[in-house]
Amino acid sequence: MQSERVRFFAEERWTGGVIGMGYVGLPLAVTMVEHGMRAIGFDRSQERVDLLNRGVSPVEDVSDDELTAALADGLEVTSDEARLAESDAIFICVPSPLGRNREPDLSFIRSAAETVKGVVGSGMLVSLESTTYPGTTEDILVPAVEEAGFVPDEDVFVAFSPERVSPGAEMKTGDIPKVVGGITPRSTEVASAAYARIVASVHPVSSARAAEMAKLLENTYRAVNIGLINEMAQLAHELDISIWEVVDAAATKPFGFQPFYPGPGVGGHCIPLDPQFLAWRAKEANFATRFIDLAEQVNIKMPAYAARRVSDLLNRAGLPVYGTKVLGVGIAYKPNVADDRESASIEVLRELEGRGARIAVLDPVVGEDRIAVHGFDPVAADGSLEDYAMAVLLTDHAVLDLKRIATEVPIVLDTRGAYRRAGLEFDNVEAL
């Protein structure tokens, strides 16, 4: 059956079922339709399903127009999991958070596996895209297929292909190379044929475990290097050296150096979480992940360090933290997106709030409603800034008027190096 299924996925118009219509699943479903396939998007939230079917996208990387076009060309969105039985391939794109003790929370993946067990059919491909520890595909999806009465890699092909979504990035899902690893080479070949129809390029690896670990390496690499530069930033400050100048200088080397920049911490759905999947799996193997653990220690302390820098600047001006009005500029975890998941910016403001500062937030990208959800007073984009003793720039959205902030607020701490990149110099602006 394998060679026949490879040919089918490589040549025919097949139907892809997507479990989870969020930041990963919706762009994937839309990409399938844009490449001539049919897609059935399944989500347990009827509210989200109704929103999507009205042509309203809750995901920044898919515009309302793109969603409407996909709905007209072959995308169906439903809360009826039985509809997934119409699929030739099922792609699992559900959250994979950490639990309270920073252990992997696989409840969403297990729930998706139960759904697969009820709808899987002979000849199907089942691919997990949710980030997780090496071995999850074999531990959870393979038993689900077996319990449904099928032989994995003969009746049903099983693979892992990690999502590489970067909210707000110019590259779309279909433009990003796909790593694909099946539970055996047979499943890898079938999965690669399917993905090759909808993405620019496919990089097959020897196993699902290798693909799972590749995803964790990508973000662990970033977390470790961010931890390094965050520690270097603190050292540079103690030595009265600009870390931004140092990084720019080192980056002139045409080989052997990739610039990373400090910030108030790490945020989003990947970098703070993914290395912990690897660390957790390593503990099971009695292996110490020293780089991962050290980087996490540095990164999780950065919000407190940023808050301390705010306190120091206020003290230098003869002002207490307690009762002083401080403006937080930006609470998204990265610039130019309205995504505040795991945002270190929010942690900085919580630290200051805990010290008695009166916090308000300016973030025209995230929006006033979302700011209020976090319990902060929102500041309108055109609102006056003159009542604030200090501003701390936490997320450097392109729409921010940096000149206005530095002109109207007496003290500014720039945690992102935004003023330096913009070529702006103000005596009252200090970099992290």
Cα 388 to Cα 404: distance, rounded to the nearest angstrom = 13
**Whether 345 contacts 365, CB under 8 Å:** no
| Distance from the Cα of residue 57 to its chain's centroid | 18
Amino acid at 256: G
Cα 196 to Cα 6: distance, rounded to the nearest angstrom = 11
Amino acid at 29: A
Catalytic site residue from 141, 142, 179, 270? 270
Half-sphere exposure of 289 (CA within 13 A, CB side): 22
Whole-number Cα distances in Å, 407 to 388, 402, 412, 423:
12, 9, 10, 15
Contacts of 175 (CB under 8 A, 6+ apart): 199, 200
Please report the beta strands in 1-99, taking only residues with DSSP state E, as ranges in sequence order: 15-19, 38-42, 75-78, 89-92
Which of 261, 257, 298, 313 has its CA nearest to residue 418? 261
DSSP code, position 319: -
Listing DSSP states for 166-178 in one string gives: -TT-SS-GGGS-E
Cα 432 to Cα 305: distance, rounded to the nearest angstrom = 9
199 by DSSP, 3-state: which?
coil
Contacts of 204 (CB under 8 A, 6+ apart): 179, 180, 181, 188, 189, 192
Cα 163 to Cα 15: distance, rounded to the nearest angstrom = 19
Cα 72 to Cα 76: distance, rounded to the nearest angstrom = 9
| 82 CB burial (10 A radius; 0-12, 13-18, 19+) | exposed
Q: Is 270 assigned a catalytic role? A: yes
Cα 95 to Cα 142: distance, rounded to the nearest angstrom = 19
- Residues that are catalytic: 270
